[in-house]
A and B are shown apart, each in its own frame.
Chain A
Amino acid sequence: MTVPQIKPVVLRDLLNADTALRIDLPDDTSPALPGLDRDDLIQLAGRTVLIATRSQASTAAALIALDGVASAFVICPPDMSSDLLRSIAETAGVEAIITDHSDFDIGMNIPVLVRGTNNGIPDAKGLQQQETRWIMPTSGTTGRPKLVAHRFSALIGAISSTSASTNPVWATFYDIRRYGGLQIFLRACAAGARLVLTNPTEQLGDFIGRCTAAGVTHLTGTPSHWRRLLMSPFASQIDPAYVRLSGEIADRAILDALRAKWPSAAIIHAYASTEAGVGFEVSDGQEGFPAAYLGGLPGIYLKIEADTLRIRSSRTALTYVGPDAPVLLDDDGFVDTDDVVERVGDRCYFRGRRSGVVNVGGNKVHPEEVERVINLHPSVSMSRVRSRRNPILGDLIVADVVLKPSASAASELDHTKLKDEILSACRRDLARHKVPVALEFSASLPLIGSGKMGRQHA
């Protein structure tokens, strides 16, 4: 008996046959370089490829060209250091690199293809089609990213059911090289419309102006992105039919403010993560999610165990990648999201991260990586980094520092100088959102029974 071969679905198949996707970016970011051609595909067929481009459009072109051709590709978010890129490339066993950066060099002896967007989709006819693994780095406890592998079918698992609207025009504050943005990119591919993207240097008014010009109907971002838009005069220039929030806890204040601003828009907050995939959407305008979702949603099983949300569905990632990769799925196929969820009556509410990870405007910060930098200062004995609630970005980072006895006896003037030195080191070694906004010296820090430092947990 022969088992019928199921042809894997690839990104090319998802693209709308009638209208091509058009990516709208700020002018300076789309390099006029030729895209991948058929010869490149022949060279890269069956290989593991690192995609590390400056422009989101170059990454988009590479994804369309290579899905179904390469064995795997690693989609690198922007602003990764050469060291980090090299470490990721080695962990993933990368055999070639695609970049749009002519000076790109991470010191590996593998082919580097400098490619942009300037031609159509290369012909892949005759090449053996395979199920490419989509690998995305996510932040890990040591500051080194974990590599999460997805199959394409899982990435698009949530799309058909949510793109019912006719002719949506998508825009997003996210970068398409991270999970949330990639979801919007794939939705726009299926819709065959314009996708309006931005970058960190673009002024908000310019982005909203481009959204208006493109006739954007569907706009997505984190609650922090939306707070920023509502604080600007530009919110009045746009009238989205569909407002989507994800990546952070959507609290009642932001949901109410969006409702007041756009009374007739669909306001959706979605739960998704790189590991768990698209979990679920909440469209009733209330914070949290209905307790009826626990065990009651089609195609996805949610449960709360040991205080955290666990998800099993066909949309979760496949595995972590690399020699010492941790286990992603438990024996029953659940991903532990590490998000603490509390059930109150018929509603479930997000209370923060179990591991103490702080979410600063959608960017994860592991307290340990900040403590490591602070503790390198010769006068520091120990430190504890924790979150401080903030109405603009959800949380900010603050630090409590215990000085060595010699330093703690010093004058107040010396303490001010020490504070400056420690914060300068943080600014030098850490991303901006990881630098403590306040630093206090204290005589001691509490230790819990196991001898570990007590942390305030959600």
Chain B
Amino acid sequence: MAVKTRILDIITRVAAEQERRISKLTDETVLTDSGLDSLCFAIIVARLEDELGVDPFSQAEEIPFPRTVGDLVALYDRGAE
């Protein structure tokens, strides 16, 4: 499964678990506006580490701050290479 599909899948599952209503996810969706709060986002990053085996946040020299879904996917795409 492509990284993007897996990321979107995890976001949707975490939102459901956390009973959050999220907007339709596109590359341009701003993460902090999507209906996800910091706890949701923290869980998503933890699940992605488990499923993809990478944590680009801890590996990077400078901590990245992705703003949109597209930024997030790009971060993991790079990390998975």
Q: Name A residues whose Cβ lies closer than 8 Å to a Cβ of B.
A: 200, 203-205, 224-225, 227-228, 230-234, 253-254, 256-257, 260, 360-361, 388-393, 396, 427, 432-433, 437-438
Contact = CB atoms under 8 A, between A and B. Distances in A.
A316 B18 CA distance: 38
B55 A228 contact: no
Interface in B13-61: 17-18, 30-33, 37-39, 41-43, 45-47, 50, 55, 57-58
A232 B72 CA distance: 12
5 contacts: A231-B31, A233-B30, A233-B67, A390-B46, A438-B46
A361 B42 CA distance: 10
A388 B43 CA distance: 11
Nearest to B41: A392
B29 to A, nearest CB: 12
B66 interface: yes
Residue among B37, B58, B62, B65 facing the most chain A CB atoms (10 A cut-off): B65
Contacts of A253: 62-63
Contact of A232 (B30, B43, B63): B30
Residue among A203, A224, A233, A256 facing the most chain B CB atoms (10 A cut-off): A233
A234 B17 CA distance: 27
A232 B38 CA distance: 11
Nearest to A254: B63
Contact of B63 (A390, A391, A396, A437): A391
A228 B32 CA distance: 8
A227 B39 contact: no
Interface of B: 17-18, 30-33, 37-39, 41-43, 45-47, 50, 55, 57-58, 62-63, 65-67
Contacts of A203: 33
A393 B42 contact: yes
A231 B32 contact: yes
Contact of B45 (A205, A233, A390, A427): A390
Nearest to A253: B63
Given A361-B39, A392-B38, A393-B39, A232 B32 contact: yes
A438 B50 contact: yes
A257 B62 contact: yes
Contact of B62 (A256, A360, A437): A256
A395 to B, nearest CB: 9
A437 B43 CA distance: 6
A228 B42 CA distance: 10
A391 B18 CA distance: 19
B41 to A, nearest CB: 5
A204 B42 CA distance: 17
Given A392-B45, A393-B39, 13 more contacts: A203-B33, A231-B31, A233-B32, A257-B62, A257-B63, A389-B58, A391-B45, A391-B55, A391-B57, A396-B46, A427-B17, A437-B47, A438-B50
Contact of B33 (A205, A256, A361): A205
Residue among B38, B57, B58 facing the most chain A CB atoms (10 A cut-off): B38
A384 to B, nearest CB: 18
A246 to B, nearest CB: 17
Contacts of A433: 39
A421 to B, nearest CB: 14
Contacts of A432: 18, 39
B64 to A, nearest CB: 9
A131 to B, nearest CB: 39
Residue among B32, B33, B57 facing the most chain A CB atoms (10 A cut-off): B32
A225 B46 CA distance: 18
Contacts of B46: 388, 390, 396, 437-438
Contact of A393 (B17, B33, B38, B58): B38
